[in-house]
């Protein structure tokens, strides 16, 4: 379905020429992006010609997919107004802004919280389906630089206008903030044990909309406000992490940007560093190793002399992951050595943040194994994976599944097909108990690596065991 504009869409034609995309090429890219979101689209070069020459506006998710396809070619976000399709956009830049003003930061975050629910009500995948494929690592440049320049606002006290009675702005107190922190603690446990796609995890966006947004729009002192922004930043980062785990990269990016802005309002530099580390892991996972290094180093730079030893260790570990993905073995090795050194200096009595409770030697070993997997050093992968798998896994089920896949890849690259299949079977069993698109992607990668051995009975058995998992929509 399309509707008609008046005259040609000259903006779209100009941007297509700038990007060097033909009509047929754009149609193919849009169809492919739609397929990634479960949409069956059949656009062709004639469809694109109509969009450009007659000003026809495609309906549904198509305008966002067009912007995403062009953005991927240009290497930057492309807003709909740039390609003459802004009328089709319900909220073009929601969540991507990093406002300098605190009141605008509150508006930006709460708009994002409300949009998530609106998307869920709309059906057919909601707004995040419409924004399919619109992740652009360059969108992190401004947030990271503004946070580095000014990691804390001077004051966040707020006096909300309104009358007495029902519907009046909330007077926020410390008890309200404690409830948000408790929700964040619960959400962290759910996510680690059940995956980002579990129904318990999906309650986090609802908590942001129903609980956090009214508080942020209420009245509070500077002291209470700092705590409120910190708790909201934790929940928002968690929403981003869960979106990342379920393959909604565009949603994760927006949540991360807002979480970083809220951490700045909280004057919580370590928490801001944690958000940047999450951004770095996402960029690295998406194949942007160099940008991942920049984000991890931004987290490190502002936290020197502020964060605990264990926190600094984690930031260096994230940096190592990015260096490894970028193929820089020397830099990755140096970052891993630094991460281990910081971890050795950490002590039980250190004032570590609660959100770092997942991190210890087993997590260090697991990520070190992934570094060496990317650097194609299977002997090192096996050594670190053995350490990573030595700890009980009731609390961190998803992590255990990911580690089993990494172990299977290492065994395969060492020529141990039996061991690779054995670990693969264990990984599939774990993956079947959680809701994590990321874990499924790891399993798919293992099966792809096993394709040359497809005639082997053990490989056929593993593929058959994985079939139900691969048939489940991410």
Is residue 50 in a domain?
A: yes
Buried/exposed code over 26-38 (b: 16+ C-beta within 10 A; e: otherwise): bbbbbbebbeebe
Q: Which residues pair with 2 in a beta bridge?
A: 58
H/E/C letters for each residue in the chain?
A: CEEECCCCCHHHHHHHHHHCCCHHHHHHHHHHHHHHCCCCCCCCHHHHHHHHHHCEEECCCHHHHHHHHHHHHHCCCCCHHHHCCHHHCCCCCCCCCCCCCHHHHHHHHHHHHHHHHHHHHHCCCHHHHHCCCCCCHHHHHHHHHHHHHCCCCCCCCECCCCCCCCCCCCECCHHHHHHHHHHHHHHHHHHHHHCCCCCCCCHHHHHHHHHHHHHHCCEECHHHHHHHHHHHHHHHHHHHHHHHHCCCHHHHHHHHHHHHHHHHHCCCHHHHHHHHHHHHHHHHHCCCHHHHHHHHHHHHHHHCCCCCHHHHHHHHHHHHHHHHHCCCHHHHHHHHHHHHHHHHHCCCCCCCCHHHCCCCHHHHHHHHHHHHHHCCCHHHHHHHHHHHCCCCCCCCHHHHHHHHHHHHHHHHHCCCHHHHHHHHHHHHHHHCCCCCHHHHHHHHHHHHHCHHHCCCHHHHHHHHHHHHHHHCCC
Cα→Cα distances 430→242, 394, 399, 400, 408, Å = 18, 11, 10, 8, 14
Q: Which residues pair with 219 in a beta bridge?
A: 171
Interval 399-453: pLDDT, tens: 888 889 898 988 998 899 999 999 999 989 888 887 788 888 889 999 999 999 9
Task: Mark the ranges of the chain whose per-residue pLDDT is less than 50.
Answer: 1, 89-90, 117-126, 130-133, 199, 473-474
Task: Choose one of 68, 88, 108: the last residue of a domain.
Answer: 88
What gap in Å lies between CA 191 and CA 210, rounded to an integer? 20
Task: Choose one of 88, 115, 149: the last residue of a domain.
Answer: 88
What gap in Å lies between CA 438 and CA 413, rounded to an integer? 22
pLDDT at residue 36, as a whole number: 64
Is residue 308 in a domain?
A: no
CB 62 within 8 A of CB 30: yes
What gap in Å lies between CA 20 and CA 30, rounded to an integer? 15
Is residue 296 in a domain?
A: no
pLDDT at residue 120, as a whole number: 41
- Token pair for 289: 């190793």
pLDDT at residue 124, as a whole number: 37
Is residue 282 in a domain?
A: no
Alpha-carbon Rg for the chain in angstroms: 23
CB 304 within 8 A of CB 270: no
What gap in Å lies between CA 299 and CA 174, rounded to an integer? 28
Is residue 237 in a domain?
A: no
Tell me the backbone φ, ψ of residue 468, rounded to 5 degrees. -60, -35
Task: Choose one of 66, 88, 110: the last residue of a domain.
Answer: 88
Token pair 């010609």 in the structure block, residue? 49
What gap in Å lies between CA 235 and CA 226, rounded to an integer? 15
pLDDT at residue 324, as a whole number: 97
Cβ partners under 8 Å of residue 255, min gap 6: 95, 112, 236, 237, 239, 240, 243
CB 209 within 8 A of CB 117: yes
Q: What is the residue range of 424's domain?
A: 374-474
pLDDT at residue 125, as a whole number: 44
Burial zone of 46 (CB within 10 Å; 0-12 exposed, 13-18 middle, 19+ buried): exposed
Interval 66-97: pLDDT, tens: 888 898 888 777 777 788 886 654 455 788 99
Work out how many domains the chain is built from and give that number. Answer: 2
Interval 321-362: pLDDT, tens: 999 999 999 999 999 999 999 999 999 889 999 999 989 999
- Which CATH number belongs to the domain containing residue 77 in this structure? 1.10.260
pLDDT at residue 162, as a whole number: 65
- Token pair for 95: 């969540």
């Amino acid at each position: 379905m399309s509707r008609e504009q008046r005259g040609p869409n000259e903006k779209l034609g100009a941007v297509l020429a700038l990007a060097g995309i033909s009509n047929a090429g754009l149609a193919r890219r849009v169809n492919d992006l739609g397929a990634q979101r479960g949409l069956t689209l059949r656009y062709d070069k004639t469809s694109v010609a109509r969009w450009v020459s007659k000003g026809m506006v495609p309906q549904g998710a198509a305008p966002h997919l067009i912007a995403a396809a062009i953005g991927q070619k240009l290497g930057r976000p492309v807003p709909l107004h740039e390609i003459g399709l802004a009328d089709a956009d319900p909220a073009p830049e929601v969540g991507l802004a990093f406002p300098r003003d605190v009141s605008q930061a509150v508006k930006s975050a709460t708009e994002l919280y409300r949009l998530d629910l609106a998307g869920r009500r709309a059906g057919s995948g909601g707004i995040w389906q419409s924004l399919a494929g619109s992740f652009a690592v360059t969108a992190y440049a401004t947030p990271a630089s503004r946070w580095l320049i000014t990691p804390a606002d001077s004051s966040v006290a707020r006096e909300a206008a309104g009358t007495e009675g029902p519907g009046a702005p909330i007077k926020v107190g410390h008890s309200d903030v404690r409830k948000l922190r408790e929700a964040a603690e619960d959400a962290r446990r759910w996510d680690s044990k059940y995956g980002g796609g579990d129904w318990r995890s999906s309650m986090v966006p609802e908590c942001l909309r129903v609980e956090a947004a009214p508080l942020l729009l209420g009245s509070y002192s500077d002291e209470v406000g700092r705590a409120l922004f910190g708790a909201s930043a934790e929940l928002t980062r968690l929403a981003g992490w869960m979106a990342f785990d379920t393959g909604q990269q565009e949603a994760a990016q927006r949540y991360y940007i807002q979480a970083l802005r809220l951490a700045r309002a909280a004057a919580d530099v370590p928490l801001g560093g944690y958000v940047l580390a999450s951004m770095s892991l996402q960029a690295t996972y998406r194949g942007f190793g160099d940008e991942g290094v920049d984000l991890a180093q931004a987290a490190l730079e502002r936290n020197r002399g502020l964060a605990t030893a264990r926190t600094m260790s984690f930031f260096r570990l994230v940096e190592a992951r990015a260096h490894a993905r970028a193929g820089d073995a020397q830099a990755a090795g140096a970052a891993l050595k630094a991460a281990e050194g910081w971890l050795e200096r950490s002590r039980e009595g250190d004032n570590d943040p609660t959100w770092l409770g997942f991190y210890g030697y087993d997590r260090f070993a697991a990520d070190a194994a992934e570094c060496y997997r990317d650097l194609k050093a299977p002997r090192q992968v096996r050594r670190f994976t053995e350490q990573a798998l030595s700890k009980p896994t009731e609390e961190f089920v998803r992590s255990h599944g990911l580690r089993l896949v990494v172990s299977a890849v290492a065994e395969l690259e060492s020529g141990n097909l039996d061991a690779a299949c054995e670990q693969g079977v264990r990984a599939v069993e774990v993956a079947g108990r959680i809701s994590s698109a990321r874990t499924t992607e790891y399993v798919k990668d293992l099966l792809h690596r096993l394709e040359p051995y497809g005639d082997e009975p053990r490989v056929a058995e593993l593929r058959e065991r994985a079939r139900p998992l691969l048939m489940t929509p991410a």
